[in-house]
Chains A and B, each alone.
Chain A
Amino acid sequence: AQKVTQAQTEISVVEKEDVTLDCVYETRDTTYYLFWYKQPPSGELVFLIRRNSFDEQNEISGRYSWNFQKSTSSFNFTITASQVVDSAVYFCALRREDSNYQLIWGAGTKLIIKP
């Protein structure tokens, strides 16, 4: 079975705190792709990162960082020094190699950054 679990439904932190959004996935495929998207209140889904299953390097982009661990089937997302503009719903998604372009989405985590 293919599945993406984002166990945190909602997280609320005060501005400047660090926050980690969890993503755990299930797949039997050896080749797959993981994505993170941000959906601010305006509604547009914004692509953040793509990670291939054969590339376990962690990535940092400004205040954003991603920790990909195949051993625990996790692809967690950390925001350092959070800002109010980071408030959004964040989705983790999985795509199988032979999925016919279907993305398997997590339920999303609503992140609230309080000033």
Chain B
Amino acid sequence: DAMVIQNPRYQVTQFGKPVTLSCSQTLNHNVMYWYQQKSSQAPKLLFHYYDKDFNNEADTPDNFQSRRPNTSFCFLDIRSPGLGDAAMYLCATSREKAGSSYNEQFFGPGTRLTVL
């Protein structure tokens, strides 16, 4: 089945120690997103890639970076995690075409990040 895969499902890191979360997709969608979701809150968009074009949300901290080496993979790098970065990180994909109506986003299972 076509899907969005996130690894690892659970990640523990130390305060200030860089961490990388990965996302892969078999849907061949051209747009990939990274969301942060804290407990009892709605997801918050950090950034997205439209094909190779990176789009950062205005309020995303510089501590968060992303890479998309190819269509299938996308990485979230947290350079110096703080206690406030502990959250669920969700990757999503969608197929979008300029001038067409927007399509739904498909989400991966998420990576729960703990910062000690």
How far is B109's CA from A52's CA once the two chains are assembled, in angstroms? 26
Cβ B104 vs Cβ A47 within 8 A: yes
Q: Report how many residues on chain B are interfacial, defined by Cβ distance under 8 Å.
A: 27
Q: Which residue of A lies closest to B101 (CB)?
A: A52
Contacting B at CB under 8 A, from A77-114, are 91, 95, 97, 100-103, 105-108
Q: Does B81 sit at the interface, judged by CB under 8 A?
A: no
Residues of A contacting B112 in the complex (Cβ-Cβ under 8 angstroms): 43
Contact in complex: B42, A43 (CB < 8 Å): no
Q: Are B110 and A103 in contact (CB under 8 A)?
A: no
| Interface size of A in residues (CB-CB distance below 8 Å) | 22
A101 to chain B, nearest CB (A): 6
A45 to B106, CA, bound (A): 8
Given A33-B101, A100-B55, A101-B96: A44 touches B45 (CB 8 Å cut-off): no
CA distance A107 to B110 in the complex (A): 19
In the complex, 22 of the A-B residue pairs with CB atoms within 8 angstroms, ordered by the A residue number, are A35-B104, A43-B109, A43-B110, A43-B112, A44-B110, A45-B43, A45-B92, A45-B107, A47-B104, A47-B105, A47-B107, A52-B101, A97-B102, A101-B94, A101-B102, A103-B45, A105-B42, A105-B43, A106-B42, A107-B42, A108-B40, A108-B41
Chain A contact residues, CB within 8 Å of chain B: 33, 35, 37, 42-47, 50, 52, 91, 95, 97, 100-103, 105-108
- Which residues of B line the A interface, CB within 8 A? 31, 33, 40-43, 45, 48, 50, 55, 57, 88, 90, 92, 94, 96, 101-110, 112
